[in-house]
Amino acid sequence: DGSELVEVGNYVQANQASVNEEMFGKYKGRNVIVISLESLQNFVIGNTMNGEVITPFLNSLVNDKDTYYFSDFYHQTGLGKTSDSEFIVENSLFGLGRGAVFFTHGGNTYNSMAEKLGENGYFTNVMHANNKSFWNRDMIYQSLNIQKFYDIDSYDVNEENSVNWGLKDIPFFEQSAELMTEMQQPFYSRMITLTNHYPFYLEEEDIMIPEYNSNSGTLNRYFQTVRYLDESIKVFFEQLKEKGLYDNSIIVMYGDHYGISENHNKAMAMYLEKDEITAYDSALLQSVPLFIHIPGSGEGKVMDEAAGQIDIRPTILHLLGIDTSNDMQLGADLFSKEHEDFVIFRDGRFVTDQYVYAGEVCYDRDTGEEIDIKACQPYIDRANVELEYSDEIINGDLLRFYDDESINLSQEQNAVKE
Ligand code: GP9
Ligand code: MN
């Protein structure tokens, strides 16, 4: 009957971060382009590999006056990998602890970012040159109210412009920019890149830096495909400018999940010049980059709050002046002064500005020393509550009982209960 929704709704209301009045609605009406950067971890940003710069274009954005770069941002995905990150971004809820929510709950009712933007006059779409049914996307995109899926059939894909998983990122962005010129504006396009995907293969002609020299071929090649991904973003920005789409857009880019698993810890330790990769290190290595690029903003800066993918939905909607105060979301606006430095991972680990909790150990974030679990306990409890509420919403398909007045409704129900 949706009574669980009341409890979750009360929690969401009580923990809501206020909006930043200066930012709310500041970029109303702009196109929104959200780019999923395949397997891109934060440790490569601003870094070199054997003297080679790995992400020259993204590095140039870090200190760009039109870019907010989040340096302590984390993926929150589970087994659903890319699809989990999509789910989190659209719904500001977690994926599931088991399996991929895209498969298991593709037919649920949701209140996605796409749906909100559609209601606000946006043409909403996803661009990804893979078969439409991969990760059950064709099904769940209907539940997410995404109006159009530019899947493999919308792209010219052939032997020459493909590698590894499919269409290379540079032609993907070139063709996507062309498709954008035909879109009704304002549009919301979520773009999913692919070339920087395990096992990280490139063709000779696309290799821009040498391999690394560890015992892991995976890590060795990773730097090269990351370099290629970086180049593809540069090309896309140029295309947007050429096509006159740049100035009136907001471009949000985030790493979808890790690329280098713990199977490559030895090679990672060598690269990071550490004796070993501990549970503490592994948690911090789940950091992925987030860039919010707003042409003409002039106020960009490096933002160091601990934050996660779950925060993207409210942040974007608020920049566009779209209210989310009645929404069943677990993230918070990154520009809110009340945004808390607390990122929960799907497996219960978490990072705050003071602590890292991993392997059931509480670490002092600054020193990496093990400390009394008591320091972490309040966060452990809250992490459990939030993950559980998210699971309840999904497993109970609770957003069926939600409509735009749902919080009012739930408050009434609550009043009756009291
Ligand atoms: C497939 C692509 C990769 O379409 O999104 O998915 P992943 O394996 O990274 O979850
Ligand atoms: Mn992925």
Model confidence band, residue 415 (pLDDT cutoffs 50, 70, 90)? very low
Q: Give the environment of ion ligand 2: residues with CB less than 5 A.
A: 38, 81-82, 256
pLDDT at 407 over 90: no
Query: What's the Cα-to-Cα distance from 222 to each of 158, 171, 216, rounded to whole Å?
Result: 24, 20, 10
DSSP state, residue 18: P
Ligand 2 centre distance from Cα of residue 78 (Å)? 11
Å from CA of 151 to ligand 1 middle: 13
55: annotated active-site residue? no
User: Does the Cβ of 82 fall within 6 Å of ligand 1?
Assistant: yes
> 5 or 416, which is more confident?
5
Task: Measure the CA dihedral 405/411/417/418, to 10°.
Answer: -170
Mutate to test the pocket of ligand 1, among 77, 88, 135 (most ligand atoms within 8 A of CB): 135
Residue 363 has which token pair?
């670490």
Placement of tokens 């391999």 in the chain:
211
State whether the beta carbon of 197 lies less than 6 angstroms from ligand 1. Answer: yes
Residues 307, 313, 315, 316, CA torsion sign: positive
What digits encode the pLDDT tens for the residues 237-290?
Answer: 999 999 999 999 999 999 999 999 999 999 999 999 999 999 999 999 999 999
Give the separation between CA 372 and CA 230, rounded to whole angstroms. Answer: 41
Q: Which of 55, 67, 77, 82 is catalytic?
A: 82
Backbone angles phi, psi at 304, to 5 degrees: -110, 15
ipTM > 0.95, yes or no: yes
pLDDT at 418: 35
Length of the chain measured in residues: 418
User: Which of 81, 97, 10 has the alpha carbon at shortest distance from 415?
Assistant: 10
Q: How far is the CA of 86 from the centre of ligand 2 (A)?
A: 10
Over residues 282-325, the pLDDT tens digits come to: 999 999 999 999 999 999 999 999 999 999 999 999 999 999 99
Which residues lie across from 124 on neighbouring strands?
A: 188
| Amino acid 361: pLDDT | 98
| Cis before 199 (ω within 30) | yes
- For residue 74 the two structure tokens come to 């984390």
Ligand 1 atom nearest to 256, measured from its CA: 9
Strands 187-192 and 31-37: parallel
pLDDT for the residue numbered 402: 85
**Predicted confidence (pLDDT) at residue 408 exceeds the cutoff of 50:** no
Atom of ligand 1 nearest to the CA of 194: 2
What pTM did the predictor assign? 0.96
- Protein residue whose Cα sits closest to atom 7 of ligand 1: 82
Q: Give residue for tokens 């050429």.
A: 242
- Tokens 């974007």, residue? 316
Residues 6 or more apart whose CB falls under 8 angstroms from that of 94 comprise 76, 88, 310, 330, 344, 346, 386, 387, 390, 391
Closest CA to 56 of 255, 305, 234, 260: 234
**Three-class DSSP category at 387:** helix
Helices (H) and strands (E) counted in the chain, each on its own, are 13, 19
Q: Is the pLDDT of residue 405 over 80?
A: no
From atom 9 of ligand 1, which residue's Cα is the shortest distance away? Answer: 82
CA nearest neighbour of 198 among 228, 213, 218: 218
- Name the phi and psi angles at 360, rounded to 5: 60, 25
* Sheet of 342-344, strands arranged across: 342-344, 350-352, 355-358, 361-364, 370-371
* DSSP letter, residue 20: -
Structure tokens at 399: 């957003």
pLDDT of residue 404: 56
Q: For the segment 56-99, what is each residue's pLDDT rounded down to a tens digit?
A: 999 999 999 999 999 999 999 999 999 999 999 999 999 999 99
